[in-house]
Protein backbone atom coordinates (compact mmCIF):
# COMPACT_ATOMS: atom_id res chain seq x y z
CA UNK A 1 0.00 0.00 0.00
CA UNK A 2 2.73 2.39 1.00
CA UNK A 3 4.58 1.65 -2.22
CA UNK A 4 1.52 2.76 -4.22
CA UNK A 5 1.75 6.21 -2.66
CA UNK A 6 5.23 6.56 -4.09
CA UNK A 7 3.68 6.60 -7.58
CA UNK A 8 1.54 9.67 -6.87
CA UNK A 9 4.18 12.20 -8.04
CA UNK A 10 4.73 10.21 -11.23
CA UNK A 11 0.99 10.09 -11.93
CA UNK A 12 0.68 13.83 -11.23
CA UNK A 13 3.61 14.61 -13.51
CA UNK A 14 2.16 12.53 -16.34
CA UNK A 15 -1.30 14.12 -15.99
CA UNK A 16 0.21 17.58 -16.00
CA UNK A 17 2.34 16.63 -19.00
CA UNK A 18 -0.67 15.40 -20.96
CA UNK A 19 -2.71 18.51 -20.16
CA UNK A 20 0.13 20.83 -21.13
CA UNK A 21 1.02 18.84 -24.25
CA UNK A 22 -2.56 19.23 -25.42
CA UNK A 23 -2.08 22.99 -25.29
CA UNK A 24 1.05 23.04 -27.46
CA UNK A 25 0.48 24.40 -30.94
CA UNK A 26 -2.96 25.77 -30.12
CA UNK A 27 -3.49 29.30 -31.29
CA UNK A 28 -4.28 31.35 -28.18
CA UNK A 29 -5.67 34.16 -30.30
CA UNK A 30 -8.38 31.87 -31.68
CA UNK A 31 -11.70 32.62 -30.01
CA UNK A 32 -14.94 30.91 -30.80
CA UNK A 33 -17.64 33.40 -31.68
CA UNK A 34 -20.22 33.99 -28.98
CA UNK A 35 -22.84 34.06 -31.72
CA UNK A 36 -22.56 30.47 -32.94
CA UNK A 37 -26.10 29.10 -33.21
CA UNK A 38 -27.62 32.54 -32.85
CA UNK A 39 -29.06 34.80 -35.53
CA UNK A 40 -27.03 37.57 -37.08
CA UNK A 41 -27.67 40.68 -34.93
CA UNK A 42 -30.47 42.87 -36.24
CA UNK A 43 -29.13 45.58 -38.52
CA UNK A 44 -30.17 48.14 -41.05
CA UNK A 45 -27.29 49.41 -43.12
CA UNK A 46 -26.88 51.15 -46.43
CA UNK A 47 -25.44 49.26 -49.36
CA UNK A 48 -21.86 50.18 -50.13
CA UNK A 49 -22.63 50.70 -53.79
CA UNK A 50 -25.74 52.80 -53.18
CA UNK A 51 -26.38 54.86 -50.02
CA UNK A 52 -30.11 54.96 -50.76
CA UNK A 53 -30.60 51.20 -50.61
CA UNK A 54 -31.10 49.95 -47.05
CA UNK A 55 -30.22 46.35 -46.35
CA UNK A 56 -31.68 44.25 -43.53
CA UNK A 57 -31.31 40.75 -42.13
CA UNK A 58 -33.40 39.21 -44.91
CA UNK A 59 -30.41 39.33 -47.28
CA UNK A 60 -29.26 36.11 -45.59
CA UNK A 61 -32.43 34.13 -46.14
CA UNK A 62 -32.65 31.59 -48.92
CA UNK A 63 -29.08 30.33 -49.16
CA UNK A 64 -26.06 29.57 -47.04
CA UNK A 65 -23.69 32.49 -47.39
CA UNK A 66 -20.35 33.71 -46.19
CA UNK A 67 -20.31 37.02 -44.39
CA UNK A 68 -16.89 38.52 -44.99
CA UNK A 69 -15.73 41.44 -42.82
CA UNK A 70 -13.23 43.61 -44.67
CA UNK A 71 -11.81 47.09 -45.03
CA UNK A 72 -9.33 48.83 -47.26
CA UNK A 73 -7.22 49.59 -44.17
CA UNK A 74 -6.67 45.89 -43.61
CA UNK A 75 -3.64 44.42 -45.41
CA UNK A 76 -4.67 40.81 -44.81
CA UNK A 77 -7.97 41.55 -46.57
CA UNK A 78 -5.99 42.29 -49.71
CA UNK A 79 -4.25 38.94 -49.35
CA UNK A 80 -7.46 37.01 -49.28
CA UNK A 81 -9.30 39.07 -51.87
CA UNK A 82 -8.20 37.07 -54.90
CA UNK A 83 -9.32 33.90 -53.13
CA UNK A 84 -12.73 35.42 -52.45
CA UNK A 85 -13.04 36.29 -56.14
CA UNK A 86 -12.09 32.73 -56.95
CA UNK A 87 -14.74 31.36 -54.54
CA UNK A 88 -17.46 33.59 -55.95
CA UNK A 89 -16.62 32.96 -59.60
CA UNK A 90 -15.46 29.35 -59.66
CA UNK A 91 -17.36 27.85 -56.75
CA UNK A 92 -20.49 29.96 -56.93
CA UNK A 93 -20.39 30.83 -53.24
CA UNK A 94 -22.69 33.60 -52.10
CA UNK A 95 -20.47 36.10 -50.28
CA UNK A 96 -21.96 39.04 -48.44
CA UNK A 97 -19.46 41.75 -47.61
CA UNK A 98 -19.38 43.84 -44.48
CA UNK A 99 -17.27 46.88 -45.21
CA UNK A 100 -16.08 47.64 -41.71
CA UNK A 101 -14.99 51.09 -40.48
CA UNK A 102 -14.03 52.14 -43.94
CA UNK A 103 -14.40 54.95 -46.39
CA UNK A 104 -16.91 54.52 -49.21
CA UNK A 105 -14.83 55.92 -52.06
CA UNK A 106 -11.75 53.92 -51.17
CA UNK A 107 -13.82 50.78 -50.77
CA UNK A 108 -15.48 51.19 -54.17
CA UNK A 109 -12.13 51.85 -55.77
CA UNK A 110 -10.74 48.71 -54.17
CA UNK A 111 -13.57 46.63 -55.66
CA UNK A 112 -13.02 48.19 -59.05
CA UNK A 113 -9.31 47.41 -59.18
CA UNK A 114 -9.27 44.03 -57.40
CA UNK A 115 -12.62 42.63 -58.53
CA UNK A 116 -15.92 42.32 -56.70
CA UNK A 117 -16.70 38.89 -55.23
CA UNK A 118 -19.62 40.13 -53.14
CA UNK A 119 -23.25 39.59 -54.01
CA UNK A 120 -24.00 42.58 -51.81
CA UNK A 121 -21.95 44.80 -49.52
CA UNK A 122 -23.03 46.31 -46.23
CA UNK A 123 -21.50 49.69 -45.46
CA UNK A 124 -20.71 49.99 -41.76
CA UNK A 125 -18.46 53.03 -41.27
CA UNK A 126 -19.09 53.29 -37.51
CA UNK A 127 -18.55 49.57 -36.98
CA UNK A 128 -21.89 49.04 -35.24
CA UNK A 129 -22.74 45.69 -36.80
CA UNK A 130 -19.12 44.63 -36.51
CA UNK A 131 -19.25 45.36 -32.79
CA UNK A 132 -22.50 43.41 -32.38
CA UNK A 133 -20.92 40.49 -34.23
CA UNK A 134 -17.91 40.58 -31.92
CA UNK A 135 -15.46 41.33 -34.73
CA UNK A 136 -12.04 41.81 -33.16
CA UNK A 137 -9.75 41.56 -36.13
CA UNK A 138 -10.46 41.80 -39.83
CA UNK A 139 -10.62 39.80 -41.95
CA UNK A 140 -13.25 37.61 -40.35
CA UNK A 141 -15.60 35.34 -42.22
CA UNK A 142 -18.84 33.90 -40.90
CA UNK A 143 -20.81 30.99 -42.27
CA UNK A 144 -24.46 32.03 -42.09
CA UNK A 145 -27.15 29.48 -42.92
CA UNK A 146 -30.32 30.03 -44.97
CA UNK A 147 -32.24 31.11 -41.87
CA UNK A 148 -29.70 33.77 -40.99
CA UNK A 149 -28.14 31.78 -38.13
CA UNK A 150 -24.38 32.13 -37.55
CA UNK A 151 -22.80 28.67 -37.81
CA UNK A 152 -19.09 29.30 -37.83
CA UNK A 153 -16.53 32.06 -37.64
CA UNK A 154 -13.14 32.07 -39.25
CA UNK A 155 -10.70 34.73 -38.06
CA UNK A 156 -7.93 35.45 -40.50
CA UNK A 157 -7.23 35.05 -44.17
CA UNK A 158 -9.28 32.72 -46.34
CA UNK A 159 -7.33 30.64 -48.79
CA UNK A 160 -7.79 27.48 -50.75
CA UNK A 161 -6.84 25.32 -47.77
CA UNK A 162 -9.32 26.97 -45.38
CA UNK A 163 -11.99 26.61 -48.03
CA UNK A 164 -11.27 22.94 -48.70
CA UNK A 165 -10.87 21.86 -45.09
CA UNK A 166 -13.36 24.03 -43.22
CA UNK A 167 -15.73 26.19 -45.18
CA UNK A 168 -16.78 23.88 -48.01
CA UNK A 169 -17.83 21.02 -45.69
CA UNK A 170 -19.80 23.47 -43.54
CA UNK A 171 -21.56 25.07 -46.49
CA UNK A 172 -22.42 21.66 -47.89
CA UNK A 173 -23.72 20.51 -44.50
CA UNK A 174 -25.99 23.50 -43.91
CA UNK A 175 -27.15 23.61 -47.54
CA UNK A 176 -28.43 20.06 -47.18
CA UNK A 177 -30.21 20.87 -43.93
CA UNK A 178 -31.95 23.88 -45.42
CA UNK B 1 15.05 79.56 -14.32
CA UNK B 2 14.92 77.36 -17.40
CA UNK B 3 15.04 74.30 -15.21
CA UNK B 4 12.16 75.50 -13.12
CA UNK B 5 10.16 76.18 -16.23
CA UNK B 6 10.84 72.69 -17.59
CA UNK B 7 9.83 71.18 -14.28
CA UNK B 8 6.61 73.15 -14.23
CA UNK B 9 5.86 72.12 -17.81
CA UNK B 10 6.54 68.46 -17.09
CA UNK B 11 4.38 68.55 -14.01
CA UNK B 12 1.41 70.11 -15.75
CA UNK B 13 1.97 67.70 -18.61
CA UNK B 14 1.78 64.69 -16.35
CA UNK B 15 -1.29 66.02 -14.59
CA UNK B 16 -2.99 66.55 -17.94
CA UNK B 17 -2.06 63.03 -19.03
CA UNK B 18 -3.66 61.61 -15.92
CA UNK B 19 -6.79 63.62 -16.27
CA UNK B 20 -7.30 62.67 -19.91
CA UNK B 21 -9.11 59.32 -19.46
CA UNK B 22 -11.80 60.87 -17.29
CA UNK B 23 -12.32 63.79 -19.62
CA UNK B 24 -12.97 61.44 -22.49
CA UNK B 25 -15.75 59.70 -20.59
CA UNK B 26 -17.51 62.38 -18.57
CA UNK B 27 -19.91 60.96 -16.01
CA UNK B 28 -22.05 62.87 -13.55
CA UNK B 29 -21.54 61.07 -10.28
CA UNK B 30 -18.37 59.90 -8.59
CA UNK B 31 -19.96 56.48 -8.12
CA UNK B 32 -20.51 56.10 -11.86
CA UNK B 33 -16.96 57.20 -12.60
CA UNK B 34 -15.66 54.58 -10.22
CA UNK B 35 -17.94 51.96 -11.74
CA UNK B 36 -16.72 52.80 -15.22
CA UNK B 37 -13.11 52.48 -14.06
CA UNK B 38 -13.73 49.13 -12.41
CA UNK B 39 -15.69 47.72 -15.34
CA UNK B 40 -13.05 48.65 -17.88
CA UNK B 41 -10.42 47.03 -15.67
CA UNK B 42 -12.47 43.82 -15.37
CA UNK B 43 -12.97 43.45 -19.12
CA UNK B 44 -10.33 41.92 -21.32
CA UNK B 45 -9.43 43.10 -24.77
CA UNK B 46 -10.01 40.32 -27.35
CA UNK B 47 -7.35 41.66 -29.71
CA UNK B 48 -4.52 42.33 -27.28
CA UNK B 49 -5.20 39.48 -24.95
CA UNK B 50 -3.03 40.46 -22.01
CA UNK B 51 -4.56 43.86 -21.52
CA UNK B 52 -7.80 45.06 -20.06
CA UNK B 53 -9.80 47.49 -22.14
CA UNK B 54 -8.88 50.38 -19.83
CA UNK B 55 -5.19 50.00 -20.71
CA UNK B 56 -5.54 48.98 -24.32
CA UNK B 57 -5.44 51.37 -27.24
CA UNK B 58 -6.69 48.83 -29.77
CA UNK B 59 -9.68 50.13 -31.78
CA UNK B 60 -11.80 47.26 -30.51
CA UNK B 61 -10.99 48.19 -26.90
CA UNK B 62 -12.05 51.77 -27.68
CA UNK B 63 -15.37 50.49 -29.03
CA UNK B 64 -15.86 48.39 -25.93
CA UNK B 65 -15.04 51.31 -23.65
CA UNK B 66 -17.54 53.46 -25.52
CA UNK B 67 -20.21 50.81 -25.08
CA UNK B 68 -19.44 50.46 -21.36
CA UNK B 69 -19.52 54.23 -21.02
CA UNK B 70 -22.85 54.50 -22.83
CA UNK B 71 -24.38 51.76 -20.68
CA UNK B 72 -23.08 53.18 -17.38
CA UNK B 73 -24.33 56.62 -18.34
CA UNK B 74 -27.77 55.18 -19.14
CA UNK B 75 -27.93 53.49 -15.77
CA UNK B 76 -27.21 49.85 -16.64
CA UNK B 77 -26.07 47.56 -13.81
CA UNK B 78 -22.61 45.98 -13.84
CA UNK B 79 -24.19 42.64 -14.63
CA UNK B 80 -25.98 44.07 -17.66
CA UNK B 81 -22.73 45.54 -18.95
CA UNK B 82 -20.94 42.20 -18.60
CA UNK B 83 -23.80 40.38 -20.30
CA UNK B 84 -23.85 42.78 -23.21
CA UNK B 85 -20.15 42.31 -23.89
CA UNK B 86 -20.00 38.58 -23.17
CA UNK B 87 -22.94 38.15 -25.56
CA UNK B 88 -20.85 39.68 -28.33
CA UNK B 89 -17.32 38.56 -27.59
CA UNK B 90 -17.77 35.49 -25.42
CA UNK B 91 -16.86 34.56 -21.86
CA UNK B 92 -13.26 35.31 -22.80
CA UNK B 93 -13.63 39.03 -22.11
CA UNK B 94 -14.35 38.49 -18.43
CA UNK B 95 -11.23 38.37 -16.31
CA UNK B 96 -13.30 36.60 -13.68
CA UNK B 97 -15.25 33.86 -15.47
CA UNK B 98 -18.60 32.94 -14.01
CA UNK B 99 -19.31 29.64 -12.32
CA UNK B 100 -20.93 27.37 -14.89
CA UNK B 101 -20.53 23.71 -15.92
CA UNK B 102 -17.66 24.54 -18.26
CA UNK B 103 -15.71 26.46 -15.63
CA UNK B 104 -16.41 24.25 -12.60
CA UNK B 105 -12.95 22.67 -12.72
CA UNK B 106 -11.34 26.09 -12.98
CA UNK B 107 -12.96 27.20 -9.75
CA UNK B 108 -12.82 23.85 -7.96
CA UNK B 109 -9.17 22.93 -8.60
CA UNK B 110 -7.66 25.25 -5.94
CA UNK B 111 -10.15 24.00 -3.35
CA UNK B 112 -9.42 20.37 -4.27
CA UNK B 113 -5.66 20.92 -4.05
CA UNK B 114 -5.95 22.67 -0.65
CA UNK B 115 -8.24 19.92 0.63
CA UNK B 116 -5.77 17.27 -0.57
CA UNK B 117 -2.92 19.07 1.18
CA UNK B 118 -4.90 19.34 4.43
CA UNK B 119 -5.73 15.61 4.27
CA UNK B 120 -2.05 14.71 3.80
CA UNK B 121 -0.99 16.93 6.72
CA UNK B 122 -3.70 15.43 8.96
CA UNK B 123 -2.59 11.95 7.93
CA UNK B 124 1.04 12.68 8.74
CA UNK B 125 0.18 14.23 12.13
CA UNK B 126 -2.15 11.41 13.13
CA UNK B 127 0.37 8.77 12.18
CA UNK B 128 3.28 10.38 14.06
CA UNK B 129 1.11 10.90 17.13
CA UNK B 130 0.04 7.25 17.05
CA UNK B 131 3.71 6.22 16.91
CA UNK B 132 4.77 8.32 19.92
CA UNK B 133 1.76 7.16 21.90
CA UNK B 134 2.62 3.54 21.06
CA UNK B 135 6.15 4.00 22.39
CA UNK B 136 4.97 5.21 25.78
CA UNK B 137 2.02 2.89 26.11
CA UNK B 138 3.85 -0.20 27.31
CA UNK B 139 2.22 -2.02 30.13
CA UNK B 140 4.21 -2.37 33.38
CA UNK B 141 4.84 -5.99 32.64
CA UNK B 142 6.23 -5.17 29.21
CA UNK B 143 8.42 -2.47 30.67
CA UNK B 144 9.93 -4.81 33.22
CA UNK B 145 10.65 -7.34 30.53
CA UNK B 146 12.24 -4.74 28.39
CA UNK B 147 14.47 -3.57 31.23
CA UNK B 148 15.50 -7.11 31.98
CA UNK B 149 16.44 -7.68 28.36
CA UNK B 150 18.43 -4.49 28.29
CA UNK B 151 20.28 -5.43 31.48
CA UNK B 152 21.22 -8.90 30.28
CA UNK B 153 22.33 -7.37 27.05
CA UNK B 154 24.55 -4.96 28.95
CA UNK B 155 26.12 -7.68 31.10
CA UNK B 156 26.68 -9.74 27.99
CA UNK B 157 28.50 -6.91 26.35
CA UNK B 158 30.74 -6.28 29.35
CA UNK B 159 31.27 -10.02 29.73
CA UNK B 160 32.34 -10.37 26.12
CA UNK B 161 34.57 -7.37 26.08
CA UNK B 162 36.23 -8.41 29.32
CA UNK B 163 38.73 -11.02 28.12
CA UNK B 164 39.84 -8.92 25.19
CA UNK B 165 41.29 -6.11 27.29
Q: What digits encode the pLDDT tens for the residues B51-98?
A: 899 998 888 899 999 999 999 999 889 999 999 999 999 888 998 888
Of A28, A33, A133, the CB nearest to B49: A28
- Residue B135: its pLDDT value, please? 60
In terms of Cβ atoms closer than 10 Å to its own Cβ (0-12, 13-18, 19+), residue A138 is buried
Does residue A61 sit in helix, strand or coil? coil
- Residue B13: its pLDDT value, please? 64
Cross-chain residue pair A131–B63, CB shorter than 8 Å: yes
How far apart are the C-alpha atoms of A77 and A68, rounded to whole Å? 10
Of B49, B59, B87, the CB nearest to A34: B87
Cβ within 8 Å of residue A82, ≥6 positions away: A114, A115
By C-alpha distance, the chain A residue nearest B90 is A34
Cβ within 8 Å of residue A59, ≥6 positions away: A96, A120
Q: Are A70 and A155 in contact (CB under 8 A)?
A: no
Of A28, A132, A137, the CB nearest to B88: A132
Report H helices in B49-139.
Answer: 59-73, 78-89, 104-136
Cross-chain residue pair A134–B47, CB shorter than 8 Å: no
Which parts of chain A register pLDDT below 70?
1, 178
What are the pLDDT digits (tens) for B8-59? 776 666 665 555 455 688 888 888 999 999 999 999 998 888 889 999 888 8
B155, pLDDT greater than 70 = no
- Cis previous bond, A81, omega within 30: no
Cross-chain residue pair B89–A31, CB shorter than 8 Å: yes
The minimum CA-CA distance between A104 and chain B, rounded to whole Å, is: 19
- Residue B14: its pLDDT value, please? 66
% of chain B beyond a pLDDT of 90: 36
Q: Are A67 and A119 in contact (CB under 8 A)?
A: no
Amino acid sequence: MKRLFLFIPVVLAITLGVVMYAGIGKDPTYLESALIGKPVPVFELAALENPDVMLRNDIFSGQVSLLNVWGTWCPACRDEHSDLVWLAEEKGVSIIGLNYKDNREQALQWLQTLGDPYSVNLFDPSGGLGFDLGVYGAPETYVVDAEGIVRYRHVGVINEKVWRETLEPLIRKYSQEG
Amino acid sequence: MLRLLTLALLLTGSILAQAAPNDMYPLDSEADRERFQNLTKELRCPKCQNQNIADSNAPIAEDMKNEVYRMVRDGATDEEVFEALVGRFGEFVRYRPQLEPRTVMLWATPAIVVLGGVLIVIGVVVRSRRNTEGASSLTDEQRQRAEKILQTDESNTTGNSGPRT
